[in-house]
Amino acid sequence: PPVQVAGRLEGPRRRRLPGLRRTQGTDDGSRPAQAGARAGHRGARHFKKSRGVLCARVPVKYGFVQAHRVEFRVTRMCAVLAISRSGFYAWQRRPASGRAQANQRLIDRMRLLHQQTREAYGARKMWHVLRREGVACGRHRVARLRRLAGLVALRRRRYVRTVQARQQEPAMIPNRLAQRFAVPAKNRVWAGDLTFIPTRTGWLYVAVLLDLYSRRVVGWAMSERQSPTVVIEAWLMAWRHRRPAAGLLHHSDQGNQYTASLYQTLLTRRGVILSMSRKGNCYDNAPVESFFSTLKNELVRHRQFQNQAEARQAIFEYIEGFYNRRRLHQALGYWSPEDFERQERDP
């Protein structure tokens, strides 16, 4: 209940949570600028990983302390998790049960997969990988052990448009795709777009073409300049590798590179049917926008490229070494684009 203090009413005092340090600042609770900067400095250790086990059973808490004892002091973790330090050491001395040993083997395998998949997979995708490897485990068990091991997938950021819309009004090309992204066979519909990647020495522009049947990147190109040349090079790569029949539908947005007469003439001479998104509507080209979001989330936003050459190499390795060959897609039944197309050849 409120109490009378020096002629004014004050509410009840807040209880201090164990393991948390009182915020230092001014009398009104605000933190000085210098202190705030120090508290949020890069590399500071925070005990946030424990939130998933605060209400878990005691053995799970013991496992968490064991997994993170290199990062944090055992005494502090035991206090925050409301377990006894002597109980933890007694648990440590006990021989591991068969289930505990199996869990540890599964955690070790998941740690390796977490690194191999560039920290991109959550519990569901990792569970599908383990099942195909012949590991007998449930999805909820995988999720629980991931939390225990502190394995967290990379988070997506909000979408921001990065390519300029066309300045002039060319001949209007209708949206023939009309968001029908489910395609019955490969080389029926290709979708393209352009984005740019920041480096310390300037921007790197990346153009891609996706086959909407398998979400495979069939053509890509990179340039230090935003010009129609980069989308032409991506198209020529895709054409040389796939050789689609006449009637292929090519979909893109209304960016300057795709409305250029040079690019459109190159496509129409090969019997390609053009389709374009409505102006300013990113959902009309959602699969390619999704690819760029995945690329930036899993590769770009977690590192700083020193120059365009370093970014080129990293993006090449991501597309050809990881995305096309190994990255699972929920829309493909948790197969990679390459494996999905292989199933078509070998039913």
d(CA 53, CA 122): 18
Name the token pair of 9: 């009413």
Q: What number of CA atoms fall less than 13 Å from residue 287's CA on the CB side?
A: 27
75, 177, 233 from 285: Cα distances, Å: 53, 9, 20
Question: Is the separation of the CB atoms in 254 and 230 below 8 Å?
Answer: no
Which residue, among 237, 231, 184, 232, has the nearest Cα to 212 in the 3D structure?
Answer: 184
Residue 146 CB-half CA count within 13 A: 22
Say yes or no to pLDDT of 200 above 60.
Answer: yes
Q: Residue 172: pLDDT band by 50, 70, 90 thresholds? A: confident
Q: Is 143 helix (H, G, I), strand (E, B) or coil?
A: helix
**C-alpha–C-alpha distance, residues 312 and 240, integer Å:** 21
Question: Looking at residue 100, what is its pLDDT?
Answer: 84
Phi, psi of 239 (to 5 degrees): -65, -45
Token pair, residue 346, equals 């070998």
Q: Mention every residue, 6+ apart, whose C-beta is less than 8 A from residue 96.
A: 104
Q: Which residue has the higher pLDDT, 213 or 38?
A: 213
Q: Crossing angle, helix 228-242 and helix 261-268, to 10 degrees?
A: 10
189-345 topology per CATH: Nucleotidyltransferase; domain 5 (3.30.420)
Question: Can you read off the two tokens belonging to residue 96?
Answer: 């591991």
In this model, does residue 47 exceed pLDDT 80?
no
What does the pLDDT read at residue 132? 86
Q: Work out the percent of the chain whose per-residue pLDDT is above 90.
A: 48
Q: Give whichever of 22-36, 126-140, 241-255 has the largest mean pLDDT.
A: 241-255
The CA distance from 142 to 122, in Å, is 10
Average pLDDT, the chain: 82
Q: How confident is the model at residue 60 (pLDDT cuts 50, 70, 90)?
A: confident
Q: Are 19 and 46 in contact (CB under 8 A)?
A: no
**Greater pLDDT, 9 or 331:** 331
CA pair distance 214, 204, nearest whole angstrom: 26
In terms of average pLDDT, the best of 48-57, 100-109, 166-175 is 100-109
pLDDT at 86: 94
Write b or e for each residue in 64-90: b if 16 or more Cβ atoms lie within 10 A of its Cβ, otherwise e: bbeebeeebeeeebbebbebeeeebee
Ranges of each domain in the chain: 95-149, 189-345
CA distance 141 to 334: 19
- Write the CA distances from 264 to 23, 249, 255, 259, 268, integer angstroms: 62, 12, 12, 7, 6
In the 3-class helix/strand/coil scheme, how is 53-106 assigned residue by residue? HCCCCHHHHHHHHHHCCCCCCHHHHHHHCCCCHHHHHHHHHCCCCHHHHHHHHH
Number of residues assigned to the chain: 347
121 neighbors 328 (Cβ within 8 angstroms): yes
Among 156-170, 200-214, 307-321, 322-336, the range scoring the smallest mean pLDDT is 156-170
User: Of 116 and 38, which is predicted with more confidence?
Assistant: 116
Average pLDDT for residues 195-212, to the nearest whole number?
A: 95
Comparing C-alpha atoms, which of 230, 208, 219, 229 is closest to residue 285?
A: 208
For the cut 80, the answer to whether the pLDDT of residue 21 exceeds it is no
The reported pLDDT for the residue numbered 82 is 92
